[in-house]
A and B are shown apart, each in its own frame.
Chain A
Amino acid sequence: MNMANSQPGSMMTNTLGKAASQQMSREVTVSAQDVKVYYGDTQAIKGINLDIYRNEVIAFIGPSGCGKSTFLRVLNRMNDTIDGCRVEGKVTLDGEDIYDKSLDVVLLRARVGMVFQKPNPFPKSIFENIAYGPRLHGLASSKTDLEGIVESSLKRAGLWNEVKDRLDQPGTGLSGGQQQRLCIARTIAVSPEMILMDEPCSALDPIATAKVEELISELSREYTIAIVTHSMQQAARVSHRTAYFHLGDLIEVNATDKVFTQPEHELTEAYITGRFG
């Protein structure tokens, strides 16, 4: 049931879509080829082929249990941490096989960062939350360098003005929305190529959600972003392309404006119009 990869912009139907298309490059960042995932004897992903392009925001949508989060975690080998999980097929990042045994998984997760559903700042100061990664990966040669990375990461995450006078205070003392932006800042502090977001706004109020969505749009100028969301309106607002998953299959991937106005597959139509089930 897999659909062929649609090129971004190939099915764009309106001006906004064309603008989004022009913004994206056609350079493939991640390529998944015949990816299958098993949890023990249960097959969660049934052979997915998908190319993700540099600087695009791609949204993964689908009902619970469809495999969208599992597939997201395939992209930075987060499934390695789950007992009994087995991944087959090939996934490349800039042409490099990320499941190659010689690959350093810690480095991979710096290149492909992840933001989770629930904000999970370290029980450390705001400054240390950001500084931890660059320090671990040796990205700063001096204290000044490190301070520069912290400041620039917080600025890019739109949080600097809110926290610049209290960098020594615990990250866990921030509001939920601020904590999530802190986690995004922490992710971008190690200069990733791609950011994975697993329902990043599901624990946030509408104002905090709007700020994170605005941030996603800003970040897509520098990073490739894949986001799993249960909010179809969010997928429609933030993504260039949308991929619809159903029972472990990738049913349709297309320009977001196309998916939400003229989906090609009846299962996609049923899901996005609330007729599924």
Chain B
Amino acid sequence: MGRFPQGRHSSAQFDDELNSIHSHLLEMGRLAMQQVQRATTALTTGDLTLASRVLFDEAQVDRLEKIIDEECALVLARRQPAAGDLRMLIAASKGVADLERVGDEAAKLASMAEDNVRSGTSVAPYTMLHQLSVPVLALLERSLEALSRFDLQLAVEVTVDRRYRDVLGELLAKWPKVADRGAMIDLIWALRSLERVGDHARNLSEQAIFCISGKDIRHLSRDQLMDLLPGVSVP
């Protein structure tokens, strides 16, 4: 696991504890990302096995959430962290909630895929999900990368990246004719789930920015963001 930008503590055990939280957070992020990827594929191809696998693996995401929460609580109790260490724990505590919800969205998509296969619903209308899942998953991946490398510039780029919302708008503008009203509602829910994953990825980047710079950029406009983070290029 990567070293923290501030360097090592006098206590190697403290380093190990923080590294473990960081490592588990990234593991949870990669797992949540994989869950969304698999759930989308299951939904667009009608792969029942893959859908079942996603639902089975949801427990792994939840397990990591509990582990990280417990590790954060122990470090707070034992070490009384300050400055960058404290910000890292706060970011991890909040980031873990976003990732758990990403896992939930994946589970929703997987359940939908199972239902569709069992009810014999056509997968054809669902193929459009790929157009949204690609930018959303790319955003989540870059967000995890920013968190992994403590990369402020990348985190800012992710935070202001709303391309997935543009894609969603385009998809809704050229909405396909779906005869089955139930399938149409499911499709809207599926798109909504992917949109939420994109929102969580951006939240995660906001936490990365807080962790790295100490700046709370939530609810700020682009101009306010530029004022708060001079020296960082805001696309």
The distance in angstroms between the C-alpha atoms of A269 and B87, with both chains bound, is 12
Determine whether the beta carbon of A233 is less than 8 Å from that of B214.
no
Q: Which of A228-258 contact B (CB under 8 A)?
A: 232-233, 236
A144 contacts the other chain (CB 8 A): no
Bound Cα distance from A117 to B83, whole angstroms: 27
Given A232-B82, A236-B82, A272-B82, residue A261 in contact with residue B10 (CB < 8 A): no
| Nearest CB on A from B13, distance (A) | 11
A275 at the interface (CB under 8 A from B): yes
Roughly how many angstroms separate A274 CA and B79 CA in the complex, as a whole number? Answer: 10
Task: Write out the residue numbers on chain B whose beta carbons fall within 8 Å of the beta carbon of A233.
Answer: 80
Q: Which of A236, A262, A266, A275 has the most CB of B within 10 A?
A: A275
A276 in contact (CB, < 8 A): yes
A27 to B89 alpha-carbon distance, docked (Å): 38
Nearest CB in chain B: distance from A269 CB, A? 5
Interface of B is mostly: loop
B181 on interface, CB distance cutoff 8 Å: no
Asked if A260 is at the interface of the complex by the 8 Å CB criterion, the answer is yes
- Return the contact of B82 from the options A261, A266, A276, A277 (Cβ within 8 A): A261
Q: Does A121 touch B at the CB level, under 8 Å?
A: no
- In the complex, A16 has a CB within 8 A of chain B: no
- Shortest Cβ distance from residue B233 to the other chain A in the assembled complex, whole angstroms: 22
User: Is the pair B11, A274 in contact by a Cβ cutoff of 8 Å?
Assistant: yes
Closest residue of chain B to A231 (Cβ to Cβ) is B80
Asked whether A273 and B214 contact (CB < 8 A) given A233-B80, A261-B83, A261-B86, the answer is: no
Most buried by A among B79, B83, B214: B83
Residues of B within 8 A of A273 (CB): 6, 9, 81-85
Q: How far is the CA of A102 from the CA of B10 in the complex (A)?
A: 48
| B6 and A274 within 8 A (CB) | no
B14 interface contact, C-beta 8 A: yes
A275 vs B12: C-alpha distance when bound (angstroms): 10
Q: Is B230 an interface residue (CB 8 A)?
A: no
Query: Is B182 interfacial (CB-CB < 8 Å)?
Result: no
Interface size on B, residues (CB 8 A): 17
Instruction: Check B214–A277 contact: CB distance below 8 A.
Output: no
Would you call A270 an interface residue if the criterion is a C-beta within 8 Å of the partner chain's C-beta atoms? Answer: yes
Query: When each residue 1-27 of chain B gets 1 if its CB lies under 8 Å from chain A and 0 otherwise, what string results?
Result: 000001111110010000000000000
Contact of A275 (CB < 8 Å), options: B7, B87, B214: B7
* Known A275-B10, A276-B10: A262·B80 in contact at CB below 8 Å: no
Q: Does A113 make an interface contact (CB < 8 A)? A: no
B33, chain A: closest CB distance, angstroms: 30
Chain A stretch 43-100: residues in CB contact (< 8 A) with chain B = none
Decide if A277 touches B10 in the complex (CB within 8 Å): yes
Q: Is the CB of A262 within 8 A of B11?
A: no
Shortest CB–CB separation between residue A13 and chain B, in angstroms? 9
In the bound complex, CA of A273 to CA of B86 (Å)? 9
Contact in complex: A274, B9 (CB < 8 Å): yes
Do B8 and A275 have beta carbons less than 8 Å apart?
Answer: yes
Give the residues from 169 to 215 in chain B that come closer than 8 angstroms, CB to CB, to chain A. Answer: 214
Interchain CB contact under 8 A, B10 and A272: no
> Are B8 and A260 closer than 8 Å at their CB atoms?
no
Q: Judging by beta carbons under 8 Å apart, are A272 and B83 in contact? A: yes
Given A261-B87, A261-B214, A262-B214, does the pair A270, B7 have CB atoms closer than 8 Å? yes
Q: How far is the CA of A274 from the CA of B84 in the complex (A)?
A: 11
| 14 contacts across the A-B interface (CB closer than 8 A) | A260-B82, A260-B83, A260-B86, A261-B83, A268-B83, A269-B83, A269-B84, A270-B6, A270-B7, A273-B9, A274-B9, A275-B6, A275-B10, A276-B10
Q: Which 4 pairs between the two chains have the least Cβ-Cβ distance? A: A262-B214, A272-B82, A260-B82, A274-B9
A residues in contact (CB < 8 Å) with B: 232-233, 236, 260-263, 266, 268-270, 272-277
Known A269-B84, A274-B14; 15 more pairs at CB < 8 Å: A233-B80, A262-B83, A262-B214, A263-B83, A269-B6, A270-B7, A273-B9, A273-B82, A273-B85, A274-B9, A274-B10, A274-B11, A274-B79, A275-B9, A276-B10
